Amino acid sequence: MSQQTAPLILVLCTGNSCRSHLAEGILRAASGDKLLVASAGSKPAGYVHPLAIKAMAEIGIDISDHHSKHLDEFLSHDVETVITVCGNADQVCPMFPGQINRHHWGFDDPAHATGTEEEQLIVFRRVRDEIQRVFGAYAAGRLDEAAKSVL
């Protein structure tokens, strides 16, 4: 499947600084070129949290080139699936052109972690690992589904 025909999966959270970028990176890595994956926020923070970048680098996924963006940037795109990873984004999420699926899988916001950088990083790792379990399973299911439709 080429990049042009791959379905677009949009991962949303409020600030688009942590959870949605963790999920975007994990889903992109797990699905290869079978899915186009992007993330956005309803109130973008304007940056990707440095500890999110660090936590992902620990598992071999580079999100250092990601940037925070508003969900409105995708209103003219054919978004096949929208996945919200926080309650606020789930509540304000619009319908997108071509949208077929919508899922809500909520995760704690690691940006609210307190303490030393190492203590905060522990929270980022926990949330990253939770997201990896859910989005890894989702990617496996989508890849199985795509393989069956080819047969």
What's the pLDDT tens digit per position in 56-107?
Answer: 999 999 999 999 999 999 988 899 999 999 877 667 777 787 788 999 999 9
**Known catalytic membership, residue 93:** yes
CATH of domain 8-139: 3.40.50.2300
**CA–CA gap between residue 25 and residue 8 (Å, rounded):** 14
Average pLDDT over all residues of the chain: 90
Q: What contacts 83, CB < 8 A, 6 or more positions away?
A: 9, 10, 11, 12, 23, 102, 103, 104, 105, 138
* Amino acid code (one letter) for 107: F
Distance CA 53, CA 65 (A): 9
Handedness of CA 84, 129, 3, 48 (dihedral sign): positive
pLDDT higher than 50, residue 19:
yes
pLDDT of residue 94: 72
Among the options 11, 13, 26, 71, which is catalytic?
Answer: 13
Domain ranges of the chain: 8-139
| Given the residues 35, 86, 89, 121, the one annotated as active site | 86
**pTM, rounded to two decimals:** 0.91
18 among known catalytic residues: no
Of the candidates 96, 117, 93, 114, the residue with the CA atom closest to the CA atom of residue 12: 93
- pLDDT tens track for 123-145: 999 999 999 999 999 999 998 88
- Please identify which of the residues 93, 113, 121, 123 carries the catalytic annotation: 93
87 and 106 in contact (C-beta within 8 Å)?
yes
What pLDDT score does 1 carry?
A: 39
Quote the pLDDT of residue 90.
Answer: 63
